[in-house]
Structure 1
Amino acid sequence: MDSTSSSAYHRHRRKDKVVVIMGATGTGKSKLSVDLATLFPFSEIINSDKMQVYRGLDITTNKIPIEERLGVPHHLLGEVDPVNGEFTPSDFRSRGGSIISDITSRRKLPLVVGGSNSFIHALLVDQFDTESDVFDGSSSTSISSELRYNCCFLWVDVSFPVLSDYLSKRVEDMLDLGMVDELAEFYDPEAKDLEDDSAHRTGLRKAIGVPEFDRYFRKYPPARGLLSAAMVEGTDPKGEDNHLRKGAYEEAVTAIKDNTCQLVKRQIGKIFKLKRSGWDLRRIDATEAFRAAVTSESGGSNKKRWSEIWERQVVEPSVKIVKRFLKE
Structure 2
Amino acid sequence: MNTFINNEEFKKKVIFIMGATGTGKSREIEPNSDFTAEDFCLQAVIYIEKILKTQRVLIIVGGPNSYIEKLVEDPVFMFKYKYDSCFIWIDVEQSVLNRRVDMRFDQMVKAGLVDEVRQIFIPDADYTKGIRRSIGVPEMDRYLREETNIDGDDESKKMILQYSISSIKRNTRMLICNQLAKIQQLISEKMWSVHHIIATDVFKEDKEEDLDEAWTNTVLQPCLDIVKIFLKNDHHNIIIECT
Report what 1:278 is aligned to: 191
Residue 325 of structure 1: how far off its partner (Å): 0.5
User: Secondary structure of the residue that 1:18 maps to in structure 2?
Assistant: strand
Would you say the 8 A contact 2:41–2:71 is kept in 1? yes
User: Unpaired segments of 5 or more residues in structure 1?
Assistant: 1-7, 27-48, 56-78, 130-144, 196-200, 223-233, 297-301
Q: Structure 2-normalised TM-score?
A: 0.85
Would you say the 8 A contact 2:11–2:81 is kept in 1? no
State yes or no: 1:170 paired with 2:170. no
Report what 1:101 is aligned to: 49
User: Secondary structure of the residue that 1:82 maps to in structure 2?
Assistant: coil
Residue 268 of structure 1: how far off its partner (Å): 0.2
User: Secondary structure of the residue that 1:246 maps to in structure 2?
Assistant: helix
Report what 1:23 is aligned to: 19
Q: 1:10 to 1:179 in 2, by over 3 A?
A: farther
Residue 175 of structure 1: how far off its partner (Å): 0.9
Q: Structure 1-normalised TM-score?
A: 0.64
Q: Which amino acid aligns with 1:284?
A: I
User: Secondary structure of the residue that 1:112 maps to in structure 2?
Assistant: strand
Deviation larger for 180-189 or 316-325: 180-189
User: Unpaired segments of 5 or more residues in structure 2?
Assistant: 234-243
Report what 1:157 is aligned to: 91
User: Structure 1 vs Structure 2: percent identity of aligned residues?
Assistant: 35
1:80 to 20, 25, 29: 29
Deviation larger for 12-21 or 112-121: 12-21
Would you say the 8 A contact 1:122–1:128 is kept in 2? no
Superposition RMSD in Å: 2.5
1:218 to 140, 145, 148: 145
Count of residue pairs brought into register by the alignment: 228
Would you say the 8 A contact 1:157–1:284 is kept in 2? yes
State yes or no: 1:287 paired with 2:221. no
Residue 220 of structure 1: how far off its partner (Å): 1.5
Report what 2:231 is aligned to: 326
Q: 1:169 to 1:313 in 2, by over 3 A?
A: same
Rounded to whole Å, the distance in 1 between the matches of 2:142 and 2:7 is 51
Rounded to whole Å, the distance in 2 between the matches of 1:115 and 1:125 is 15
Report what 1:208 is aligned to: 135
Rounded to whole Å, the distance in 1 between the matches of 2:6 and 2:167 is 46
Report what 1:303 is aligned to: 208
Deviation larger for 113-122 or 257-266: 113-122
Would you say the 8 A contact 1:25–1:115 is kept in 2? no
Work out which structure has the larger RCO, using CA pairs closer than 8 Å and 6 or more positions apart in sequence. 2
Report what 1:32 is aligned to: none
Report what 1:184 is aligned to: 118
Residue 80 of structure 1: how far off its partner (Å): 3.1
Residue 147 of structure 1: how far off its partner (Å): 6.0
